[in-house]
Structure 1
Amino acid sequence: MPTEAQNILNNANHTAYRCRDAEQTRWFYEDVLGLPLRIAFSEENVPGTNEPTPFMHLFFQLGNGDFIAFFDEPTNATPAHFAAAHSFDRHIAFEVDSEEEMLAWQKKINEKGVMCLGPVDHGFLKSVYMYDPNGMQVEITTKTPTYADYATEQGPKARKNLDEWVQRTREQKVGKFGAEALDNRNIPYPGI
């Protein structure tokens, strides 16, 4: 059993998303964003359930060795899967070392014909934004000089801020989703 000091997840080895087309996705992440395609394989069945569903799985490597991955699975894909998602619903943020680097990326991305907007100053971060071919918002961000102080200041207040938010919004969410959905801590595995 790990000790409390050891009980931390190290990193995000990969995050995975559905894509409309493997080659279109490769173009964006490799040619536009410069992330090398390191792994690409296809299978005929879903691992774990053995459901016959052919798919291609792509992995693009980030500078720290982690990956962003995609599934090209046309059998069950629908146009709705690829509608532009609101950034609250789904987005990924890639970090660079400086504002100058972020702005250089923005210029390069715009020159590739992809609309990259911003920068937006969040106080502790500055970011530029675009959409990938799959409807997911992609952010390139950099920490501002106040980042460390902000994170240190927020740490002790995080749980209190969360509790206040829950109290403030509970009634509205119960009306939309029901108390049972909000209080459920026994999350079933879909399809099992």
Structure 2
Amino acid sequence: MSAAIKLGGIHHVAYRCRDAKETADWYHRVLGMEFTTAFAEDHVPSTGAYDPYMHIFLDAGGGNVIAFFELPNQPEMGRDPNTPAWVQHIAFNVPDLDALLAAKAHIEGEGIEVLGPTYHGIFKSIYFFDPNGHRLELACNIGTDEQHAELKRVAPLMLDEWSQTKRAPKHAEWLHKEPVEG
């Protein structure tokens, strides 16, 4: 990273939604996020283009903000047909496995299909979709300091090998093998 730039985290991430009110209500009801801010303009401030929009912001906890744009004059929203649905997603932290399992029960109680928990070596997570078709993940960290240090150590080796072979390197094979309780 350049010495001239000192990042202080992510200010917000923004996605498109079909209906701003439905989205704000859903994120509050299902994930407990507080709707904090709304901007509505007829002209885009950065370009000056006429394109009415509603831009909403929701508190995702820990100083993190997720935002959505409703764009009523644009063609219906879609997704990249060449990217699998599991690739592009938004992942949120929950404090522990009990919270993850409680969240799963709550979300399923809202009539939403949930996949998981899935074991990822250093975290477990569940997956589901919001009303706009965005895939969401809730994750709880379970990794040890030693596991994180090992992953950091092998990351450049794995990336170099991947760049040359386009096949999964074996440097962290242990990562997705859930230990057998016994």
TM-score scaled to structure 2, two decimals?
Answer: 0.82
The residue number in structure 1 matching 2:176 is none
- 1:150 and 2:147 correspond: yes
Aligned to 1:132: 130
Provide Cα deviations, 1:20-75, integer angstroms capped at 9, x if missing partner: 11122112211111100000120111121100000000100022121000000121
| 8 A contact 1:17–1:70 mirrored in 2 | yes
Number of residue pairs aligned between Structure 1 and Structure 2: 165
Residue identity in the other structure for 1:87:
W
Q: How does 1:80-95 map to 2 (within 5 A)?
A: 80-81=78-79, 86-88=85-87, 90-95=88-93
SS in 2 for 1:9: coil
1:168 and 2:165 matched: yes
2:32 counterpart SS class: coil
Instruction: Could you tell me which runs of 5 or more consecutive residues in structure 1 were left unpaired when the two chains were aligned.
Output: 171-192
Q: What 5-or-longer segments of structure 2 have no aligned partner?
A: 168-182
Which residue in 1 is equivalent to 2:173?
none
The answer to whether the 8 Å contact 1:125/1:147 transfers is no
Equivalent pairs: percent with the same residue?
Answer: 37
The one-letter code of the counterpart of 1:169 is K
Partner of residue 118, structure 2: 120
Q: CA deviation at 1:79?
A: 4.4
Conserved in 1, the CA contact under 8 Å of 2:16 and 2:77? Answer: no
* CA deviation after TM superposition for structure 1 residue 77, in Å: 3.3
In the alignment, is the contact (CA less than 8 A) between 1:58 and 1:71 conserved in 2?
yes
- Structure 1 outlier segments of 4+, above 3 Å: 81-85
What is the SS of the residue equivalent to 1:62? Answer: strand
Which structure carries more helix by proportion? 1
Q: Name the CA distance, whole Å, in 2 between partners of 1:117 and 1:169.
A: 28
Q: Give the whole-Å Cα distance in 2 for the aligned partners of 1:168 and 1:85.
A: 21
How many Å separate the matches in 2 of 1:50 and 1:147? Answer: 50
TM score, norm. by length of structure 1:
0.78
